[in-house]
A and B are shown apart, each in its own frame.
Chain A
Amino acid sequence: MSSDSPDPSRSGLHSESATLGDASPILDSGSHQVEGWVTASPPKFLEVLQHVFSFPKLLVRHRDLITTSVRRELAARFSGTLLGWAWPLVTPILMFAIYFFIFTQLLSVKFGDLPEDQKSAMGVFMFVGILIWTAFGESVVRCTGVIVDNGNLIKKVAFPTEVLPLNQVLVALVSMVFGVVAYIAVTWITPLFGLHIWEPPQWTALLWALVLMPLQVMFTYGFGLMLGTLQVYLRDTLQVVTVGITVWMFATPIFWTPELIIREDGTRGLPDQWAWVLDANPMYHLVYSWRDVLMSREPAMVFHQPIETSIITFAYWAVGSFVVGYTFFLLARRRFADEV
């Protein structure tokens, strides 16, 4: 029961609506406003930047919309299915099983000079990589299509369109967190039964996850906004993205590590002329930071830079991606309703 409005059917709405700001629905849907007038001129660049940096305000104002629609999206995907909430785990586990089998059993890929008791390193290494990559890859592909797919809604209901891709990113993040929690649980529980899969992550390392997750959402969201906007004007985008994401996945050390490559001089690691490819790949920094968090640092050769360096590099990428993607989106949004 709401205590502050004794008769919610009468007073509840207006008391709150007044504080929301009168013109907010229109501003949210992409029109340009000057002193209450909605004009035909496109928004000025500075105003767009201002809008970009007041994004947290938008999050607060539309928190109900975001939480409700994320919950609904999750429910739509998993409730009513036989496996229900186990589904977010099925994809990473299945992918992990397939790749683990191919790489370690069929192709006998070995992890450098790992001691015998760390044989499962490659498996855990892959699993964490797949978990993080799936959240990113799935978000990006879904974000690319989400604006066009909701065309009718955009035409008929005035609401902040940027919520649509954000939902996709958050839904994928929730699935990923499921996987992370399940992984931690397994590393805790299995030793009780005499099985040793991997050392449980240290609690101090897990604090880094609280930094990584917002950065990951920012990066993915900015990227998704940009592609979703592009898809409105150029429908080839989704095809390109679908292929591009797969290429990118194999270019990122998910199923391989640079240490598996034997250079011409017999040492292991990525040849020097290709080193920049990894360094310039934001997902490399993200995936490796996550591995650092979740796997502890034992197989040292896997982590050749401190986690702080990777996180800072990724943070630049995340902020850049968000600012560029959101600006692009805001500039292009005016014509969404006409194009979708």
Chain B
Amino acid sequence: MSQNAIEAEGLGKCYRVYGGPMQRIAEGLSFGTYTGHRQFWALRNVNFGLKPGGSLGLCGPNGAGKSTLLKMLAGTTTPTEGRFRVGGRVSSLLELGAGFHPDFTGRDNILMNGIMMGYSKREMVARTEEIIDFAELGEYIDEPVRVYSSGMGLRLGFSVAMAVEPDVMIIDEVFAVGDMYFQKKCVDKVYELKKNNKTVLFCSHSLYDVRQLCDEALWIQDGAPAQIGDSVDVTNSYSSFQRTHIAEVKHEHEEEQAADDKAAAKIGSASSQILPRVLDARIYIPGTDEELYQVGTGESMEVRIWWVNPTPDLTPIQLGVGFFRPDTTTVAGVGSHIDGHPVTGESGCTSITIENVAFLSDQFLIAVILFGGEGTHQYQQYLMRENLVVTHKTKDVGMFMLQRTWKDRSELPVPDDAPAIREGTVGSQADVPVSNSDDEGGVE
């Protein structure tokens, strides 16, 4: 069918905010002649169409209206304006474990949850074992849900919602559950849905997930769609918007700190004049004076650092530049002492050109570090005012772009000390066909 699986036209949702019960009564009794409530538009003007088998990711800050949109499409709340159409059977995962009864066993809850989602008892009984396998709860499945850890409850919820195979799957921000292993299982399951031509609508704060799981993305900002299109493009725009936003907030914060610093400087003015320090640091398009805080993977950039060192003989210095992810992981670090570039004189500007930036899409905090002579003592850590946003247009996964070359080299024999294939091991279905093909290969 060429018809879209999901179609929305001018969709909007307005919540009514009442001042009190009296206002509500007055409004009810006036039969529409009096409106006392305040209107709060959570979402307006959403238009999109999604083909069967397509996948749309929603991104945007908290309170932008993402969940409201999903709730409307899932049918738990009604639109205030516009209209939408969902073709086929909808399953929604708005909250993991909604409807679980703590006093009943996992098994009972699987049944009840499925039936509540509109499946027959027979269907659910047939699926129960599969669900239990997927949730990997072991013996806990026959314990009351009340004794489950939060992770276990979430796993069970996800397993139930995924085991029933809908035509349209609506998932709200539930991937951040369980450990890495289970997360991967969840993502695999969603991939499987996509492969089976199911339509997936998915909301996440993890732009990575949106990019990986969805072909298209919709960025919602302050209750209105800001951009819709290819998921890579949309997530890139959203993350660069976020960067500007964070920078603004940080800037305000820094101004406050600057005032504090001035006060501190007065007290310790004598010593602060003697010590070396970084005056400024910025990023430019190499060889030009045009500042640049957003680069694509594979492009180049130039970091310039202005510094003073009143007493170069007493306090020799080295410069380092560190790239940190927002979660403070050090992604990369370079240093003049490592590369053997001397930093001499009482003041100056040092430039580091980085060719072919290998980072994949992310946001990086950049810190310039002023080391003492041997690169051990740190005089100063200077945090660059603006964060660096790297964007990439490929589907590469991870933190770095690896330079690679693929080749077919089937002429190479299997190494003699390759691990032996264990036959008959539990659960390793993949082993059997592999061993067969090896045998055949041996005969030829």
Give residues in A with beta carbon < 8 Å to B. 2, 5, 8-9, 12-14, 16-17, 20, 22-26, 29-32, 36-40, 64-65, 68-69, 72, 75-76, 80, 152-159, 233-236, 334-335, 337-338
Contacts and interface: CB of A to CB of B under 8 A. Distances in A.
A64 B81 CA distance: 34
A187 B319 CA distance: 99
B117 A157 contact: yes
Contacts of B431: none
A152 B130 CA distance: 27
Given A9-B130, A234-B25, A334-B78, 20 more contacts: A2-B122, A8-B123, A12-B126, A13-B165, A17-B123, A22-B89, A25-B90, A25-B118, A31-B78, A38-B75, A40-B78, A68-B115, A69-B115, A75-B104, A155-B77, A156-B94, A156-B95, A156-B99, A335-B78, A338-B15
A64 B75 contact: no
Contacts of B79: 31, 38-40
B78 A32 contact: yes
Nearest to B103: A76
B432 interface: no
A238 B64 CA distance: 35
A9 B132 CA distance: 13
A38 B120 CA distance: 25
B104 A337 contact: no
Given A24-B118, A233-B24, A31 B75 contact: yes
B61 interface: no
A69 B76 CA distance: 20
A40 B126 contact: no
A17 B89 contact: yes
Interface string B87-115: 11110101100110101100010011001
Contacts of A152: 95, 98
Nearest to A38: B84
Nearest to A20: B118
Contacts of B342: none
B87 A22 contact: yes
A337 to B, nearest CB: 4
Contacts of B117: 25, 157-159
B121 interface: yes
B116 A37 contact: no
B28 interface: yes
A12 B130 CA distance: 13
A38 B12 CA distance: 12
A108 B80 CA distance: 63
A25 B164 CA distance: 14
Q: Is the interface of A mostly helix, strand, loop or mixed?
A: helix
Contacts of A40: 12, 78-83
B75 A17 contact: no
B116 A157 contact: yes
B383 interface: no
Contacts of A24: 118
Contacts of A154: 76
Contacts of A335: 16, 78
A188 B395 CA distance: 79
Contacts of B94: 155-157
B116 A159 contact: yes
A203 B85 CA distance: 55
Contact of B76 (A22, A29, A80): A29
Contact of A337 (B77, B80, B115, B130): B77
Among A24, A69, A80, A338, chain B packs the most CB atoms within 10 A around the CB of A338
A335 B127 CA distance: 34
Contacts of B120: 16, 64
Nearest to A163: B116
From B21, B75, B83, B94, name the one whose CB has the most chain A CB atoms within 10 angstroms.
B75
B71 to A, nearest CB: 7
Given A13-B165, A38-B85, A337 B118 contact: no
A170 to B, nearest CB: 16
B83 A68 contact: no
Contact of B127 (A8, A36, A153): A8
A14 B83 contact: no
A12 B114 CA distance: 14
B400 interface: no
Contact of A157 (B83, B87, B98): B98
Contacts of A65: 115-116
A39 B15 contact: no
A8 B126 contact: yes
A75 B111 CA distance: 15
B99 A76 contact: no
B86 interface: yes
Given A13-B164, A159-B117, A25 B75 contact: yes
A203 to B, nearest CB: 34
A22 B126 CA distance: 22
Interface string B47-91: 000000000000000000000000110111111111111111110
B373 to A, nearest CB: 61
A157 B99 contact: yes
A9 B75 contact: no
B306 interface: no
Contacts of A235: 21
B119 A13 contact: yes
Contacts of B21: 234-236
B29 to A, nearest CB: 12
B123 A16 contact: yes
